[in-house]
Amino acid sequence: MIYEHKLKQYVDEASIRKDEPMNRHTSFKVGGLADYFITPKDKEELGKLVKFCNKENINYCILGNGSNVLVSDNGYRGIIIHIGPNFSNINIKDDIIVAESGILLGKLALKASASSLSGLEFAAGIPGSLGGAVFMNAGAYEGEISDVLISVTAMNANGDIVIFERDELKFGYRYSIFQDNNYIVLEAKIKLSHGEKELIEAKIKDFNNRRRDKQPLEFPSAGSTFKRPNGYFAAKLIETAGLKGFKLGGAMVSDKHCGFVINKDKASALDIYNICKYVEKEVYEKLGVNLELEVSLLGDFEIEDNMQ
């Protein structure tokens, strides 16, 4: 790449991976090569990298734990910036948690539980990172990350640090302002409530048991594949449309939970994409309801005409 030699001026060479297989970094276990996969060591390095990408007009994408993204078989032309373990510090004082965006939600929930703090039990089984959770207002079991947020620290395209109060983030169902303003979530301040440790742990255990019983956790997936349509449940619509267990290539609509599209047998990203589009088409034609992907698409996808 023409800009490869310049990257090393801004990022430690050890943080740079060239032609990185994205199936190593997504919960679907699919995806082609990213031109570059970079894991900044700290906020300063991240800021330099973001400013460089914007100055040079280089495509880049922020990736957390890769649990809600489908990467094309053709990979990604540009730079994947990975916000992971280097951004996972956490500080707990009284009922307030300040945590960096790379920490996994499960770990965060367990840290809260260990401090007898309640409010994050719903997040214990969500496989994403805190940054991804804020970005999409992740939730489960009638809880959402927006319920416990006080403020979020983020970085803009110039590498500047900006603090958003909760009310400025325009949270909605699987939505936050970060989906529109392209800021990078760095840190979140969370307010919880004191509780009994044993009860908090029991609630986490109950939620995790429910997940194991009802969800196809034994197969690669991105969790709930479709957003919940207003007034409906996606899984029920898909089952009513007769698509339970429907297969296309190596991808399948789970016969355990129809809201999950799974990588059943060495699926390609295109298999998963095409089965999602087929489900959307069938549900609309049979039931008149539009389904919308909850999973983010990264890279270029082509729709195959022959989907049987």
Average pLDDT for runs of 10 along the chain of length 308: 78 92 98 97 95 93 95 96 96 98 96 97 93 94 92 95 96 94 96 97 94 94 94 96 97 97 97 97 97 95 55
pLDDT for 4: 75
- Does the reported pTM lie above 0.85? yes
Clarify whether 174 is annotated catalytic.
yes
pLDDT for 1: 62
Q: Which two tokens stand for residue 189?
A: 């301040």
* Rounded Cα–Cα distance for residues 198 and 176 (Å): 33
Instruction: Report the C-alpha dihedral over residues 278, 284, 290, 291, rounded to 10 degrees.
Output: -30
Q: Which two tokens stand for residue 272?
A: 């998963």
| Catalytic member of 20, 100, 121, 294 | 294
The angle subtended at Cα 244 by Cα 243 and Cα 249, nearest 5°, is 75
> What residues does 252 pair with on adjacent strands?
247, 262
Clarify whether 294 is annotated catalytic.
yes
The angle subtended at Cα 177 by Cα 126 and Cα 102, nearest 5°, is 40
| Catalytic member of 72, 113, 129, 224 | 224
What are the φ/ψ torsions at residue 62 (nearest 5 degrees)?
A: -90, 130
Q: Can you list the domains of the chain with their CATH numbers? A: 4-82 (3.30.43.10), 87-213 (3.30.465.10), 216-308 (3.90.78.10)
What are the φ/ψ torsions at residue 227 (nearest 5 degrees)?
A: -70, 155
| Catalytic member of 129, 174, 176, 187 | 174
